[in-house]
Amino acid sequence: MLHKTGTRAVEKEGLTTQQWAVLGALSREESAGGMSVGDLARYLMVSRQNLSGLLNRMERHGHLRTVANERDRRSRLVHMSDSGRQLWLQQAIPKINEYYNDVLSNFSADDVTHALHYLLKLLDNMKRIDEATRGRNGIEDN
């Protein structure tokens, strides 16, 4: 439902929830110098393979650009483009804020606090299971 209803909130801007997540990650102050694909994948908790196609589409649409990492030429740094930043700030953020206001409209501040607490607890459990599964199967982290 988040993907379906969230995408509807930003579809007029040509975005999906996955693209909104990428732009949100790249809009953070600590990402001003760009993010490696691996760091972005870890931050978004997705595989590099899933992220790669998404990044290519977003680059074709002009939302971001990738450049070689000067410290490690084998690695690419992902940056939000000027047009991507304009899209994010002027069009996407107001729609995203409106979306969250709508979905949380009947939640009190305490409800939001409790929901966030339990979602973070759930995420911690999922991370624990993921790490244990990767360890048993000899899978490297993306």
- The CATH number of residue 44's host domain is 1.10.10.10
Question: Using an 8 Å Cβ cutoff, are 23 and 63 in contact?
Answer: yes
- Whether residue 89 sits in one domain with residue 43: yes
Helix ranges, the chain (H): 2-10, 17-27, 37-44, 48-60, 82-86, 93-103, 109-137
What pLDDT score does 74 carry? 78
**Tokens 């693209």 belong to which residue?**
19
pTM > 0.85: yes or no: no
Rounded CA-CA distance 128/122 in Å is 10
Domain tally, the chain: 2
What pLDDT score does 22 carry? 96
- Whether residue 94 sits in one domain with residue 57: yes
Burial class (CB in 10 A: 0-12, 13-18, 19+), 90: exposed
What pLDDT score does 138 carry? 66
What pLDDT score does 106 carry? 96
- Whether residue 119 sits in one domain with residue 76: no
- Whether residue 116 sits in one domain with residue 78: no
What pLDDT score does 75 carry? 82
Residue 122, amino acid: L
- Whether residue 100 sits in one domain with residue 54: yes
- Whether residue 83 sits in one domain with residue 134: no
- Whether residue 96 sits in one domain with residue 131: no
- Report residues of the chain scoring pLDDT below 70: 137-142
What pLDDT score does 14 carry? 86
- Whether residue 138 sits in one domain with residue 73: no
- Whether residue 74 sits in one domain with residue 120: no
Identify the domain containing residue 131 by its residue range: 108-142
Rounded CA-CA distance 109/17 in Å is 25
What pLDDT score does 71 carry? 82
What pLDDT score does 139 carry? 62
- Whether residue 121 sits in one domain with residue 90: no
What pLDDT score does 51 carry? 94
Distances (CA, A) of 10 to 13, 28, 88: 5, 19, 10
What pLDDT score does 133 carry? 85
- Whether residue 98 sits in one domain with residue 125: no
- Whether residue 45 sits in one domain with residue 9: yes
**Tokens 């790490």 belong to which residue?**
131
